[in-house]
Chain A
Amino acid sequence: MTDSHYVDVRDLRRVFEVSKPWLNRILEGGDRQFLKAVDGISFQIAKGETFALVGESGSGKSTVARMVVGLLPPSGGEVRIDNVPMVGRASSTERQRLRRRIQMIFQDPYASLNPRWRVAEIVAEPIRAFALIDGERDIKARVGELLSLVGLHPADGAKFPHEFSGGQRQRVAIARALASNAEFIVCDEPTSALDVSVQAQILNLMRDLQDRLGLTYLFISHNLAVVRHMASRIGVMYLGRLVEISGGRELFSSPKHPYTRMLLDAVPDLDMTSRQRLPVSGEIPNPINPPSGCTFNPRCPFTNERCRAEVPLLRDGVACHAIHEGRLSPLAAA
């Protein structure tokens, strides 16, 4: 294993069945229907790196997150973390040991904390579940330490989640994720439920913790500016596929895929420089009946016959016929 392949995702797929119930199919007719939420995704995350997945709703980014942590079994493909496969062959003890090192932070801090538990119990749960520390007094000390690490007071452990604001609750969720000495944290939209000033506090905290503890993040977000701030490498998803994957700086200075360009142009501009923009049109199509060929072709200004017929493969960090054929050159850095 090398450090650059700490997390190794290969050809990951997930299909959901969205058919009508069996009896309705018999009586009313209609075939079984499947939705390809994730359709062959591969990426690697190096140790200590932040890799981000961006995309609009319905692009499959949260499904990837859930499969990577093992909350959802994949329909195909493989997830290996520190060279241990998350599904299939590995011995259960090996995976048990790995599970401890993987944690997740969810979007809604109001829903992800049990309202009937005190914060100290919530944070102590991973410690108890993995039997990491013996003795109540030591557990209590560790919980206090974790709460101070995320900027809360150890005495806050006696409170219930409802006594905290959204940002403080997200801090509790981070403390819980760190409780089992996690190395790899999957963050699914960790700040989208928060106000901007609080979002800044949480993003700063997450970066400080990464510096101090050498954490590896898989960061899921729809907010390009947040991703720009957090990630060293970024994958852009559209309808279950990766359309572009590149270093954070390059993605923003010279985006390749037409969808990435459109996304960047759509972000409201705080600097109010009236830059030249690609006009945005259309919306994400229904994933049950995606367009043939490149799924972006109905919205793409550079479409030709081949785009409508053939699925482009990810090559040199981008999945686009127009770029591969040289019809479209990457946007030059401004």
Chain B
Amino acid sequence: MGAPVLSVRNLKVEFVTRRGVLKAIDDVSFDIERGEVLGVVGESGAGKSVTGSAVIGLIDPPGRIAGGQILLNGERIDNMSPEQIRKVRGKRVGMIFQDPLTSLNPLYTVGEQLEETIQTHTNLTRAGARKRAVDLLAEVGIPAPDRRIDSYPHEFSGGMRQRVVIALALCADPELIIADEPTTALDVSVQAQVIALLKRLGRERGTAIMLVTHDMGVIAETADRVAVMYAGRIAEIGPVEKVVRQPLHPYAQGLMGAIPTLKGHIHRLTQIPGSMPRLSAIPPGCSFNPRCPFAFERCKVDRPEAIARYEHPVACHLYDQSSAKVEVASDR
């Protein structure tokens, strides 16, 4: 197995503002193995996209990485110069963003964009790059790639555009792909096709994928492991079937219960009172304590660290043997 493709250790990201320093990411650690899909899930403001941006060195001032390490196949990439990180980006780490229309240049054909990226990162000739571009378009499932390669982005539909973006991310055969909400802008029938494509690519090429999304359904379909983020921290991380079916953290439990499903016609959805705190007003102790139905005194003062004693790490005092035992209901 060897070293994980991506290893994030105690990452901290801060934004310096006039009103003080906001901690967007506070002590986050995770690994992604070769061929593995790690789903990062959370609601808006949880810090999932910032985590993705930090990995590829796209945190711009006033944001800054304030601590921790990011290792790509054992090599530190968080302290590289902008020049060095540019070589990593695109070549060793591919990126897929939410909106395919804004990640493609409308003035160039998709072929020109693919060829440019291929020639930047490999030493193929123009003809070789064009051939590789056609192959990539075929691989992501674009029909008649040898003709479509000379089309402009606006001539593609939303789903096809996202396939082009995936092809762009694959240009240099990266070790890791960061997909930030890759299906959010797409309709369900197209979303299913893009999910199937991502899964197949991860499996066939052995690419590690960090899949950032707010959609638990997409995670359940695609990911091998899932990290649930809340207010800049990982609340729970573990195998997808465990976290989705028997979540441990009260936030993860609430999140799963809040999602309407196609199956049952339950009268009420579980609702978590309140909403995610602002970064400027993160409560002391466990950041979830004001919304947590099981919160007790310790939660208000003492910040929980991930407890690995259970089947998978969970950051919650309920599972700490030394604190008062509370029975947690799990109905999923």
Question: A residues bordering B, Cβ < 8 Å?
Answer: 56-57, 165, 167-168, 195-201, 203-204, 207, 222-226, 228-229, 248-249, 252, 262-272, 280-281, 283-284
Contacts and interface: CB of A to CB of B under 8 A. Distances in A.
Interface residues of B, number: 46
Q: 7 closest pairs, A vs B, by CB?
A: A268-B217, A200-B258, A229-B260, A195-B43, A266-B192, A200-B269, A56-B187
Contact of A228 (B188, B216, B265): B265
A199 B258 contact: yes
B298 to A, nearest CB: 24
A196 B217 contact: no
B50 to A, nearest CB: 16
Contact of B216 (A207, A222, A223, A270): A270
B187 A222 contact: yes
A268 B195 contact: yes
A170 to B, nearest CB: 12
A326 to B, nearest CB: 26
Contacts of A265: 192
A203 B269 contact: yes
Contacts of B270: 200
A56 B216 contact: no
A274 B240 CA distance: 14
A263 B244 contact: no
B280 interface: no
The listed residue with most B CB atoms (<10 A of its CB), out of A222, A269, A270, is A270
B43 A200 contact: no
Given A225-B260, A228-B260, A248-B265, A196 B188 contact: no
Nearest to B218: A268
A301 B269 CA distance: 36
22 contacts: A167-B275, A168-B275, A196-B259, A197-B275, A198-B275, A200-B258, A200-B259, A200-B260, A200-B271, A200-B272, A201-B271, A225-B262, A228-B260, A228-B265, A263-B188, A265-B192, A266-B192, A268-B215, A268-B220, A271-B220, A272-B220, A280-B193
Contact of A197 (B158, B192, B254, B261): B254
Nearest to B216: A270
A138 B98 CA distance: 48
B219 to A, nearest CB: 8
A268 B267 CA distance: 22
Interface of B: 43-44, 157-160, 187-193, 195, 214-218, 220-221, 240-241, 244-245, 254-263, 265-273, 275-276
B214 to A, nearest CB: 7
Given A265-B192, A267-B217, A268-B218, A226 B260 contact: yes
| Interface SS, A side | helix
B192 A268 contact: yes
Contact of A267 (B160, B188, B254, B267): B188
B136 to A, nearest CB: 20
A192 B269 CA distance: 16
A269 B217 contact: yes
B259 A56 contact: no
A254 to B, nearest CB: 13
A196 B216 contact: yes
Contact of B188 (A56, A167, A197): A56
Contacts of A200: 257-260, 269-272
A272 B276 CA distance: 28
A284 B187 contact: yes
A204 B268 contact: yes
A62 to B, nearest CB: 14
Contacts of A248: 265
B275 A266 contact: no
Contacts of B217: 225, 267-270
A263 B260 contact: no
Contacts of B193: 280-281
B259 A225 contact: yes
Contact of B43 (A197, A262, A283): A197
A198 B269 CA distance: 11
Contacts of B258: 196-197, 199-200
Nearest to A249: B265
Given A252-B262, A283-B159, A283-B187, A196 B43 contact: yes
B190 A270 contact: no
A195 B214 contact: yes
A202 B107 CA distance: 42
B241 to A, nearest CB: 6
B279 to A, nearest CB: 14
B220 A196 contact: no
A271 B263 contact: yes
Contacts of A222: 187-188
Nearest to B193: A280
B272 to A, nearest CB: 4
A284 B189 CA distance: 9
A270 B261 contact: yes
Contacts of B43: 195-198
A193 B159 CA distance: 21
B54 to A, nearest CB: 22
A61 to B, nearest CB: 12
Contacts of B44: 195
Contact of A268 (B160, B221, B266, B271): B221
Nearest to B160: A283
B317 to A, nearest CB: 21
B103 to A, nearest CB: 19
A269 B192 CA distance: 11
Contacts of B256: 270
A262 B262 contact: no
Nearest to B191: A266
